[in-house]
Amino acid sequence: MRSRSRTLAAVLAGLLVAAGTALVTPSAPATASAPAAPPPTPYTPDEESLGQHQAPEWFKDAKLGFFVHWGPYSVPAFAPPDGGGARQGSDKYAEWYWYEMNHPGSPTSKHHAETYGEDFPYDRFVEEWKPSAFDPKAWLDLFVDGGAKYFVMVSKHHDGWALWDTKTSDRDTVAHGPKRDFVRELFDAAEDYPLKKGLYYSLAEWYNPAGGWDPPEHSLTEGPKNPYTGAPIPYTGYEPVADDVMDHQYPQMLELVDEFDPDLLWCDIGEHVPNNSLEVMARYYIQAQDRKRPKEVAVNDRCGPSVHDFTTPEYRNQPDIETDMWEATRGIGHSFGYNAEEDVEDYLSDEELIHSFVDTVSKGGNLLLNIGPRGDGSIPEIQADRVRALGDWLKVNGEAIYGSTYWKTAADPRSNVPVRYTVKDDAVYATALAWPGEQLRLDGTLPLRSTTDITLLGGDGKPLPWKRENGVLTVDLPRTGTASTSSRHAYTFKIPTRGAHQVVHASLDVPAQPPAAGEPVPATVTVTNPGPKRSTEGRVTLDVPDGWSATPTSAVVPELEPGASTTLAFSVGAPADAPPRRYSVTAEVRLGPTTYQASDSILLSDLVKVVSPEKLNALEVAEVGASPYVDRTWRIEQLPEHLDGQLLVPGANDDKQRQEGPMSVVDGRARVTGGNVTLARDGAGWSDYDVEVTVRPHTRGAGVMFRSPDRSNGYMWQLYPGSGLTPHVLENGTFRRLATTIPVSVEAGKEYRLRIEARGSTLRTFLDGTLVDERTDSTFATGGVGFREASNEVGEFDDVRVADPAGAVLLEDDFGSGLERWANDTMTDYLVVDLARDAEVYVAFDERGAPENGDWWPQWLDRVGFVRTDERVVTSEPSGSAMVLLKATLPAGRHVLGPNAATTSQSTSYFTIVNEAG
């Protein structure tokens, strides 16, 4: 072991010094301009104390940071862009190369053997790592060009290789390979740049002999092996320790804090492995404040404890505004580490990147965008181009991004193109994700005065003509179109309210239908202050249709502290002779010289009432922007004109009734139809056991459920004719693959003997006596067994035998005595409605389920009398598929439309639109 500038004993001695400083009272996180007053107590290593800490203002204002994944994995630079590896999701990540190559049959395992040979260990890539093009200033210049305010460098990933001169072992880039301290070089160069500095640290190491991490558990107790021969291989640079947390992980984290003084500590995998992160966080917060010039720091949510300053969703945005601080993280392509297999179609386009970024910021988040340098340290030009395109956009539109917060809503259901909102000071910014054409239509709740000047960023600065009527703001756009601005891909409109003490949010809520005919309609107006200043006192007035009444006629809005809301209640009355149609109600909110308009609508109609399920009683109005599903965030984007303004029954998703099950005995076998899972009643507590069953798949496959605590959770091994065997895990009703389909010969109508051995977290699968799969997964430790067919077809099962590891029989059934021991029932959805008069009823189903496509549509459509039309409804459903409308003219009375699927278990949701007959 080489001579060290600081021994492990010195590191631990430093910890004792840190403990001595624990009585020093730290300062609270500072604002962007000046430090705040210190909190009354110091930080101690417990969640209650650390929970006082919050994300600093610089982090909230920054909006954009760059992530850098660079390590030995950048040398082979390989991952299948379409996945198909051992661990779904991360199998596309090139930085997971070592893990994937250690799983026989994975694309990476095959690639490694073919490219480097079976005797080439992963650690040899460190010696092959030649960073000849690494220029930290070039990296930092690109970060600045891209508009970032901070960066986060990976200091150590799950392969255990530290990119700095760590004192706990020789497994670093100073003792081996490049012989360079990359963290120090980048951090030293960054002193000359206006960027906050962050460090990523993985608390887990896959094959560390003192405690490796084999997802999803911290379970390995031995070092790495050659995946092709099984022979042990060295864990390069490893030095034996008594405890991998206290003698390795914890001291390394303290090194990062003490030696590099980062502004941001970005942990990973802490929730899955033992850790001492509470001590680290306390030390980090104290050292940031216990100095002559305190600094503001932040910690993410992956260190292990439940306390954190921000959360980090990966490769996804939040579906809507999230008021707690969060940061979306993703690569420009599918991988974080550089993947030479990715081509241009695997990368976000300039437009896709900008749109994703704007969406993130509108919902209250930051974007941590990853850059994956090549092994030589150069940044691929396609990544650099995307970064510069984002920076160019920010040069024009940055005032709508940096230092902004969210508006009352991220998107605008009334806009004629997708729009995302942000707010800063006394201005609201509407960023259109497509050029609107001649006019831009926006929600009329925006704060406007008669003198408000709406301008286009990147344009000539001249005000754009606008008008506001019936809760809709219409802005006339320049005749030169996109040529009128220097912005590209997204276009920001600034809506200032000069003189406003504080921009607030205002919303009006009235029920889509009156509670009962002739009764007053309750209405509420909610005003929220999202900003840092107290809002002024104001007044709300309701504008109702002629002949209607509003009680009270107006109400006072009190001054609101930052973050506070107030809700004002009104009662709206309609004349007894008001004809059944849609009526608009508008609330005008005046705060000093600023006015806001919030609009909603009431449909006077007793035409339809939902009897069941109860949660669908609150009907909506069918219109662009309406949400057609109770449990989803999808919105209507286009619907036939004659259905606009009619009654919308949002959808029947998961309210279920127990029905007779689909399992029967036919020709001495159990036959399952309709996609259901049925479980042995007496197996809910089995742990280690073997299950054997004869399976006869039909057209689309059949499988076995095991370790299933209920009908919505467990494992499912499915045999697909023409494809093979696919392991799945079912969690809360949702399937995900544990691996891609294992290529074994499966024919429809042929019998197969399937055997699964469950031992702890190890699952071994045999088909006709041959081992075809072995894997580790501990999602479910106990359960029973059951069956499932695939895709609304038929599956047959026979001769079930379940035994414990000693061979004692737990269950044996040839179905000769029927199905008494099986929980042969299911749960299905039914929509029950009462029609006051004859009505035209439309139901909308996904076009992918049409008979000529997937054939998911339910059989009850024919029973009730629905006929397919040529009309469609377009929603914001991510796949882009349309909803096909089917129509039936139904008489007055009660009608049962459900269930909501072709079979008793599939979740093909639909929604319903009802209007008067004729």
Beta strands across the sheet bearing 636-638? 620-621, 647-649, 911-916, 839-846, 883-890, 867-875, 636-638
Q: Does the pTM exceed 0.75?
A: no
pLDDT at res. 28: 30
For 715-771, what is each residue's pLDDT tens digit? 989 888 878 898 988 876 667 778 878 889 888 789 999 999 999 999 999 999 999
Strands 839-846 and 867-875: unpaired
The pLDDT-based confidence of 23 (bands split at 50, 70, 90) is very low
CB 59 within 8 A of CB 288: no
The pLDDT-based confidence of 344 (bands split at 50, 70, 90) is very high
pLDDT at res. 714: 87
Write the DSSP assignment of 49-112 as a string of letters.
Answer: HHTT----HHHHHH-EEEEE--SGGGTT----TT--SSSTTGGG-GGGHHHHHTSTTSHHHHHH
pLDDT at res. 594: 78
- Compute CA distances 498 → 61, 473, 530, 540, 590, whole Å: 22, 18, 17, 21, 14
Mean pLDDT to the nearest integer, 320-329: 92
How many C-beta neighbours within 10 Å does residue 302 have? 21
Mean pLDDT to the nearest integer, 495-513: 76
pLDDT at res. 378: 98
pLDDT at res. 515: 67
- What are the tokens at 118? 């079976």
Mean pLDDT to the nearest integer, 50-54: 93
Q: Is the pLDDT of residue 8 over 70?
A: no
Residues with Cβ < 8 Å from 207, sequence gap 6 or more? 98, 102, 160, 220, 223, 224, 235
Q: Which amino acid is at 375?
A: G
pLDDT at res. 886: 96
- What are the tokens at 224? 């790495």
pLDDT at res. 217: 56
- What is the rounded CA–CA span in Å between residue 680 and residue 717? 17
Ranking 697-701, 862-866, 868-872 by mean pLDDT, the lowest is 697-701
For residue 569, what are the β-bridge partners?
524
Mean pLDDT to the nearest integer, 38-57: 84
- What is the rounded CA–CA span in Å between residue 602 and residue 446? 21
pLDDT at res. 474: 96
CA atoms within 13 A on the CB side of 610: 23
**Strand spans (E) along 768-906:** 770-776, 785-789, 794-803, 809-813, 822-823, 825-828, 832-835, 839-846, 867-875, 883-890, 893-896
For 605-635, what is each residue's pLDDT tens digit? 888 888 877 777 778 888 888 888 876 667 8
Q: Is 397 exposed, middle or buried (0-12, 13-18, 19+ CB in 10 A)?
A: buried
How many C-beta neighbours within 10 Å does residue 293 have? 5
The pLDDT-based confidence of 34 (bands split at 50, 70, 90) is very low
How many C-beta neighbours within 10 Å does residue 478 have? 15
Q: Is the pLDDT of residue 884 over 90?
A: yes
Interior angle at CA 288, CA 404 and CA 7, nearest 5: 135
For 555-602, what is each residue's pLDDT tens digit? 999 999 887 889 999 999 999 888 777 788 999 998 877 788 887 878
Closest listed residue to residue 871, CA positions, set 856, 883, 861, 860 = 883
CA atoms within 13 A on the CB side of 71: 31
Mean pLDDT to the nearest integer, 30-39: 39
The chain-wide mean pLDDT, for the chain, equals: 87
pLDDT at res. 469: 87
Q: Is the pLDDT of residue 27 over 50?
A: no
Residue with the larger pLDDT of the pair 541 and 705: 541
Closest listed residue to residue 354, CA positions, set 293, 431, 410, 264 = 431
How many C-beta neighbours within 10 Å does residue 632 have? 16
Write the DSSP assignment of 637-674 as a string of letters.
Answer: EE--GGGTTSEEE----S--EEEE-SEEEETTEEEEES
Ranking 198-202, 265-269, 591-595, 676-680 by mean pLDDT, the lowest is 676-680
- What is the rounded CA–CA span in Å between residue 190 and residue 908? 53
Ranking 13-22, 322-331, 568-577, 659-668 by mean pLDDT, the lowest is 13-22
pLDDT at res. 517: 65
Write the DSSP assignment of 520-587 as a string of letters.
Answer: -EEEEEEEE--SSSPPPPEEEEEE--TT-EEESSEEEEPP--TT-EEEEEEEEE--TT--SSEEEEEE
Residues with Cβ < 8 Å from 153, sequence gap 6 or more? 68, 70, 163, 182, 183, 186, 197, 198, 199, 200
pLDDT at res. 456: 98
pLDDT at res. 591: 86
Q: Is the pLDDT of residue 656 over 70?
A: no
Closest listed residue to residue 801, CA positions, set 748, 769, 764, 754 = 754
Q: State yes or no: cis peptide before 613, omega within 30 of 0.
A: yes
pLDDT at res. 144: 98
For 378-388, what is each residue's pLDDT tens digit? 999 999 999 99
For residue 764, what are the β-bridge partners?
757, 774
**Strand spans (E) along 721-808:** 724-731, 734-737, 752-759, 762-767, 770-776, 785-789, 794-803
| Helix H or strand E segment including 196 | strand 196-202
Q: Is the pLDDT of residue 13 over 60?
A: no
For 206-224, what is each residue's pLDDT tens digit? 999 998 888 765 666 678 9
- What is the rounded CA–CA span in Å between residue 219 and residue 240? 18
Mean pLDDT to the nearest integer, 394-417: 92
Q: In percent, how much of the chain has pLDDT > 70?
A: 88
For 885-905, what is each residue's pLDDT tens digit? 999 999 999 898 877 654 433
- Compute CA distances 836 → 189, 575, 650, 890, whole Å: 75, 20, 19, 11
